Each structure stands twice: as structure tokens, then as C-alpha cells.
């Protein structure tokens, strides 16, 4: 996760490289930061307890399809994002409210969003959601 890679940390990593100050949910697995950092298109929320990403699709229909697929997975996982849709753009934020912070479920759902967006196809086809 580019935004997460070199900021101040709340826990010293093994290699003494600074990690970002992320507020993790209680009882989060120890490897959660390592898994979150692989989400290179996501950024840390301003509150530092969630992940945010904007997806840009070729059409409104593609954006709606993405939201429908993610909504079905949300029902299964009983975990829902804060999101906003404006024509072909969808901004998604994952955080956990109880216990508050970034949780394994947030990271799993961010990964699901990435794979779903890749399946549907982002505008420009380069994976970052921006036109090429």
C-alpha cells in the first residue's frame, strides 16, 4: 500500500523500517499490516482506522455491477462499507466499528473489491482505475 509504506508506526517492525500509524481493531492477527500493505491501490483513511479506494469503471453500468457483486458479498460476510457512487466512479471505505479499527474483515473485503473490479474491468484497463 503506497500510502502505508513509509510513515510513523504504532509498532516497531522487525526490520526497523517505519510503518504507518494504523489503528487496528482489537484482536487483529499479527500479519494484518503485511497483508494490508499489499493493497497498493488503497490508502489509509484520514482517521487511520480504515482503507479507502476510488474505482473508475468504463460506464455507470459497470460501476453498478461492481457495487451489486460487492453488496452480495457484504451480505454473506455481514460487513458493509461506506461508499459513494457518482456515474462511473465508486469510492469505497472499509473500517470496523466494533471493535473500532482496521480488521481482517476490512482487508479481506478490500481484496474482494480489487478482484471484482479486475473481473469487471476498470477504465483504461491498467488496474489503477484511471484512464491510460
Whole-prediction pTM = 0.80
Helix (H) or strand (E) holding 94: strand 89-97
C-alpha cell at 130: 484511471
What tens-digit pLDDT sequence spans the chain (132 residues)?
445 543 323 444 455 555 568 889 898 898 898 899 899 899 999 989 899 999 999 999 999 999 999 999 999 999 999 999 999 999 999 999 999 999 999 999 999 999 999 999 998 765 454 443
**CB-CB contact of 19 with 30 (8 Å):** no
| Measured CA angle at 96 (ends 104, 1), to 5 deg | 55
Domain ranges of the chain: 23-120
| 21, 94 contact by CB (below 8 A) | no
CATH among 3.40.1590.10, 3.30.1360.20, 3.30.420.40, 3.40.50.300 for 23-120: 3.30.1360.20
User: CB of 43 within 8 A of CB of 66?
Assistant: no
Q: Any residues with CB less than 8 A from the CB of 38 and at least 6 apart, and which?
A: 1
What's the distance, Cα to Cα, between the start and end of the chain in Å? 21
Amino acid at each position: 500500500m503506497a500510502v502505508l509504506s513509509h510513515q510513523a508506526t504504532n509498532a516497531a517492525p522487525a526490520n526497523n523500517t517505519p510503518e504507518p500509524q494504523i489503528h487496528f481493531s482489537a484482536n487483529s492477527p499479527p500479519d494484518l499490516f503485511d497483508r494490508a500493505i499489499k493493497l497498493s491501490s488503497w490508502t489509509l483513511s484520514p482517521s487511520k482506522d480504515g482503507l479507502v479506494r476510488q474505482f473508475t469503471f468504463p460506464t455507470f453500468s459497470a460501476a453498478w455491477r461492481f457495487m451489486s457483486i460487492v453488496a452480495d458479498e457484504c451480505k454473506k460476510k455481514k460487513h458493509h462499507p461506506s461508499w459513494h457512487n457518482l456515474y462511473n466512479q465508486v469510492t469505497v471505505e472499509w473500517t470496523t466499528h466494533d471493535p473500532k479499527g482496521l480488521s481482517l474483515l476490512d482487508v479481506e473485503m478490500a481484496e474482494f473489491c480489487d478482484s471484482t473490479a479486475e473481473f469487471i474491468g476498470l477504465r483504461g484497463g491498467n488496474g489503477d482505475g484511471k484512464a491510460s
